[in-house]
Structure 1
């Protein structure tokens, strides 16, 4: 009777729905992932920037570890190599100085303080010369020369024009002064971009050229050189 009673009790439990639950693996994993994805489990996680920085520093550490492993003497040898490279760079910097711009094609003749007349540039040049500031005097006198040619319509006003370009263009209408215009442009470039200092003779040369150009007659289209003057 007891055996029959036990079977009957088990049948009643099954009938009542008390079947032991055996959850399949895939739904169980999905349930766990869903639970762990809740914000309460990620409040202290690093943000995107922190994760990116951590990955970057891990990469840097890996690079140094690889370099230390390849360098003779390990980390100590790598440190010696770094010191040698820094020393060589410092020696080159001391020997060569600050790198200068290799091209002058983008070095404009006039600064960005606004347009000034030839008379204003001449006055500024004379003021610098009176104070023995020959470098600034040369710069202002060259600007006065170019501005004067623009005011006489011998040069088209063009922002960004360099001293070399102005000398080349002016030489086509004032061929008798081509060589001196180019020399004046070189003097301007030397003191402005080449780090050189000008002297009194350089300024007086530009001043004389400025005065002569002011009286020079341009070579008009269709006119030969022999007809000028």
Structure 2
């Protein structure tokens, strides 16, 4: 049936956007399946928010690793070799330099304001060692060594003395222990001033030196001069 000319013209003049939307009837079976699968019983074992975040993170790491291996000569094997080499360098530096401190000590003295006996320093060192506080244990053991030498009159009591000065002065009367005394002073300085963390073996080395020094007889200045004079006379004859 032909429309009147005016009606046909009006229909053709309608904009395309005003045309009624085309709809399709919903699939009853699909809607029923969606309603069924939305029930809670089907989602009890779904990963939580944290697990989904971790999965997304590891997916990102995997993509990053794949991109890096593609850009590295030798592919995945070459990337693994490079990472192992970097890890070895970092481990070597960490072992050599020790754990860095956040705030390095700018100044420190061998002894604090309140004087303690060698026995008190040894007791404090053992208490720190028992708790695994090796830095404090090494410091207290070095103080015990120096205080013991002062108590034996092998060193003059002098406030402000450094560990290096104590080792150098003690080496004059204990020449057979000079190397170990200097090593102990270096350990003390590295921990107190250099920001290094002490290892248990460092403390045990100082404790053994402390015990050894107690059994070591000093070489007095007069005895040393007499020995040198006797040696010179023997050489002249």
Partner of 1:140: 140
State the secondary structure of the residue aligned to 1:223.
Answer: helix
Instruction: Give distance in 2, aligned partners of 1:213 and 1:98.
Output: 34
Partner of 1:108: 109
State the secondary structure of the residue aligned to 1:209.
Answer: helix
- Structure 2 stretches lacking a partner, 5+ long: 1-101, 228-237
2:189 corresponds to 1:171:
no
Consecutive aligned runs of 4 or more in structure 1 exceeding 3 Å deviation: 97-101, 224-227
Alpha carbons 1:135, 1:198 under 8 Å: kept: yes
State the secondary structure of the residue aligned to 1:179.
Answer: helix
State the TM-score, normalized to the length of structure 2: 0.50
Alpha carbons 2:108, 2:192 under 8 Å: kept: no
Alpha carbons 1:128, 1:136 under 8 Å: kept: yes
Q: For residues 63-93 of structure 1, what are the alpha-carbon distances to aligned partners after superposition, in whole Å with 9 as ceiling and x for unaligned?
A: xxxxxxxxxxxxxxxxxxxxxxxxxxxxxxx
Instruction: Give distance in 2, aligned partners of 1:126 and 1:98.
Output: 26
Q: For residues 36-59 of structure 1, what are the alpha-carbon distances to aligned partners after superposition, in whole Å with 9 as ceiling and x for unaligned?
A: xxxxxxxxxxxxxxxxxxxxxxxx
Q: For residues 170-198 of structure 1, what are the alpha-carbon distances to aligned partners after superposition, in whole Å with 9 as ceiling and x for unaligned?
A: 00000000010000001001111110000
Partner of 2:211: 211
Partner of 2:131: 131
Q: What do you get for the CA RMSD once the two structures are aligned?
A: 2.1
Give the count of matched residue pairs.
126
- Structure 1 stretches lacking a partner, 5+ long: 1-96
State the TM-score, normalized to the length of structure 1: 0.52
Give how far 1:147 is off.
Answer: 0.2
Partner of 2:77: none
Instruction: Give distance in 2, aligned partners of 1:226 and 1:140.
Output: 37
